Copies of this chain bind each other. A is one copy, B any other.
């Protein structure tokens, strides 16, 4: 999906933000979309700490880090109530959305729209709302830092 417009978030609930966020509303910022499940060991070990480091390093005026809880297995085990405690215990401070359950099948809607293969997944969206990176699994900080910086240097294109 690299180079395509980022699908709008279709989510059921938000944490850590006074009001819902949208991809459209974040136009002009770089969006770092981190998809995770609270009981995914790779997310807890590498993905979420990386998202926290990104949120700590870059200005929120320039880079919006958004977590999205894309539950596609053990649905009954990873409810919003459990997620709320997880966010509290792991001191996650960036906005986190609960992906909306899919109509049929276990894959939630935003995860499906982004064609994610599992968790953790990382999507980088540029100032124009275009997907510029889409990856699955642990990523090197050095590379992610470089890619965010590249996007930061690119001006927003005027909309027609």
| A positions within 8 Å CB-CB of B | 39-41, 44, 50, 53-54, 57-58, 73-74, 76-79, 81-82, 84-86, 88-90, 140-150, 152-153
- Quick one: copies of this chain in the complex? 4
* A124 and B89 alpha carbons, distance in the complex (Å): 27
Contact of A39 among B53, B89, B143, B150 (CB under 8 A): B89
Q: Which of A86, A146, A150, A152 has the most CB of B within 10 A?
A: A146
* A40 x B89 contact (CB < 8 A): yes
For A85, the chain B residues whose CB sits under 8 A away are 39, 73-74, 76-78
If A41-B90, A82-B77, A89-B41 touch, whether A145 touches B150 (CB-CB below 8 Å) is no
Q: Report the nearest B residue to A75, measured CB to CB.
A: B85
Contact of A142 among B73, B86, B89, B142 (CB under 8 A): B142
A selection of 16 A-B contacts at a CB cut-off of 8 Å is: A44-B44, A54-B142, A57-B143, A57-B146, A58-B146, A73-B85, A77-B81, A77-B85, A77-B86, A79-B82, A82-B82, A141-B145, A146-B148, A146-B152, A149-B149, A149-B153
Q: Report the nearest B residue to A84, measured CB to CB.
A: B77
Q: Report the nearest B residue to A50, measured CB to CB.
A: B142
